[in-house]
């Protein structure tokens, strides 16, 4: 798990005059499930296509298994891809689609048969060999696409939003299956998605991207609990983001009150952003040394209620299993370690 498989060094890429990837560096270890997460247009798919060899980067290096991939075309890389919308060959049936790469490599018929059978077993599509791909459901097509890629035994599998067109239930099932598959195959996966839940569920490492720049790299727990900036905080899960001032180490000031916190290392009176997750706030009766507000709305969400509290014209989102009434006056309560302080970024509040 420790050997580096892919290393990206100072990658730059522009289309026409817009730079879509800014000087990006990143490495992927062997047997790692890494997710590139970000909104559409953040450069994640472009980055994936650069690794796959479908796009050429303008500057920087892609090092795969110790070798610079600069002059290696897509068809010579030991990397396979599961494309968005799958790109199954419409004129071939399931078997021929999966066997395609093996036939290009001119393996003998028996080996191809065995390998295709194994791959189809792995994606649970035995018995569908002769089906035309157009007659398969979205979920089945996706499995064919995965089988077609992994049958070539790549060292690295690239997945470009492969779950995007599946319905919710199927998507959740596939998340577990993909993770299981990655562990049993023992290869690295790079997974591109804009769905933060998908990223948090499956990955060993999440890379949050925006405008061609990496915002944060970390384990899913770290990304969720310790977002480095306002963008990551708001993109991953729902959150309350408030501007404040770091008076000194372990003392933060916002909403007109001082709070002790667990953060340190900021300049004295440095303006900062504070994030508090909705599930970390507990509502109680109003009190003088607390942030007080009025319940503006309450929505039943199944597992919990989503409660909107108005404080000085600002909305706070609170997740609670206990209902309240609209119009109730309440106070917001949270522990010092639930106040997460982030460096102020100059972007407008999003």
Partner 1 sequence: MIDRLKKAPFIMVTAFSYFIIYFPIFVIVLLSVNASPSGQTFTEFSFVWYKEIFLNERLLTAIFNTLLVAVISTAVATVVGTLTAIGINSLTKTYRIRFMILNNVPVINPDIVTGLSLMLVFSLLPISFGMPTMLLAHIFFSIPFVVLTVLPKLKELDPNLMDAALDLGCNYFEGVVKVIIPSIKTAIIAGALIAFTMSIDDFVISYFTTGNGFQNVSIWIYSRLGRRTFSPAVYAYNTLVVFLTIGVLGYINVNNIIRVKRRSEK
Residues that bind partner 1 (CB under 8 A): 49, 52-54, 73-76, 79-81, 83-92, 100-101, 104-105, 148-149, 152
Instruction: Give the C-alpha separation, 53 to 71, whole Å.
Output: 9
Q: Which is nearer to partner 1, 87 or 317 (CB)?
A: 87
Helix (H, G, I), strand (E, B) or coil at 46: helix
Minimum distance of partner 1 from residue 36's CB (angstroms): 17
Tell me if 21 sits within 8 A of 47, measured CB to CB.
yes
How long a stretch of residues is the chain?
A: 350
Phi and psi at 300, nearest 5°, equal -80, 125
Least Å from the CB of residue 144 to partner 1: 11
Nearer to partner 1, 138 or 286 (CB): 138
- The nearer residue to partner 1, 53 or 218, going by C-beta atoms, is 53
Pick the closer one to partner 1 by CB: 45 or 229. 45
Q: Cβ–Cβ contacts within 10 Å for residue 115, how many?
A: 20
Residue 181 DSSP symbol: H
Residue 159's DSSP bridge partners are 82, 191
Measured CA to CA, the distance from residue 202 to residue 232 in angstroms comes to 18
CB of 101 to partner 1, least distance (A): 3
Output the smallest distance, CB 152 to partner 1, in A.
7
For the beta sheet containing 240-248, the strands, ordered from the edge strand earlier in sequence to the opposite edge, are 257-260, 251-254, 240-248, 270-276, 340-343
- Minimum separation from the CB atom of position 94 to partner 1 (A): 15
Q: Cβ closer to partner 1: 103 or 124?
A: 103
């Amino acid at each position: 798990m420790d050997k580096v498989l892919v290393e990206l060094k100072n990658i730059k890429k522009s289309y026409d005059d817009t730079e879509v990837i800014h000087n990006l560096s990143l490495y992927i270890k062997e047997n790692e499930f890494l997710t590139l997460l970000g909104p559409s247009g953040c450069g994640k798919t472009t980055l994936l296509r650069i690794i796959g060899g479908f796009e050429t980067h303008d500057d920087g290096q892609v090092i795969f298994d110790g070798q610079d991939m600069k002059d290696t075309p897509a068809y010579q890389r030991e990397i396979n891809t599961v494309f968005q919308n799958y790109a199954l060959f419409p004129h071939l049936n399931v078997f021929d689609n999966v066997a395609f790469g093996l036939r290009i490599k001119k393996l003998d018929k028996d080996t191809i048969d065995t390998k295709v059978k194994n791959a189809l077993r792995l994606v649970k599509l035995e018995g569908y060999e002769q089906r035309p791909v157009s007659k398969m459901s979205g979920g089945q097509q996706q499995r064919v696409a995965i089988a077609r890629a992994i049958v070539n035994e790549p060292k690295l599998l690239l997945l470009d939003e492969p779950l995007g067109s599946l319905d919710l239930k199927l998507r959740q099932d596939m998340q577990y299956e993909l993770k299981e598959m990655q562990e049993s195959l023992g290869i690295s996966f790079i997974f591109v998605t804009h769905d933060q839940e998908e990223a948090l569920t499956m990955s060993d490492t999440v890379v949050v991207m925006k405008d061609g720049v990496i915002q944060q790299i970390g384990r899913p727990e770290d990304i969720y609990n310790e977002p480095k900036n306002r963008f990551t905080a708001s993109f991953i899960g729902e959150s309350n983001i408030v501007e404040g001032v770091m008076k000194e180490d372990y003392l933060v000031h916002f909403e007109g009150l001082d709070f002790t916190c667990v953060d340190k290392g900021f300049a004295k009176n440095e303006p900062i952003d504070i994030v508090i997750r909705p599930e970390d706030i507990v509502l109680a009766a109003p009190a003088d040394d607390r942030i007080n507000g009025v319940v503006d709305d309450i929505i039943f969400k199944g597992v919990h209620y989503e409660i909107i509290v108005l404080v000085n014209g600002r909305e706070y989102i609170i997740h609670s299993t206990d209902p309240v009434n609209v119009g109730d006056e309440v106070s917001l309560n949270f522990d010092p370690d639930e106040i997460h302080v982030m460096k102020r970024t100059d972007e407008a509040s999003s």
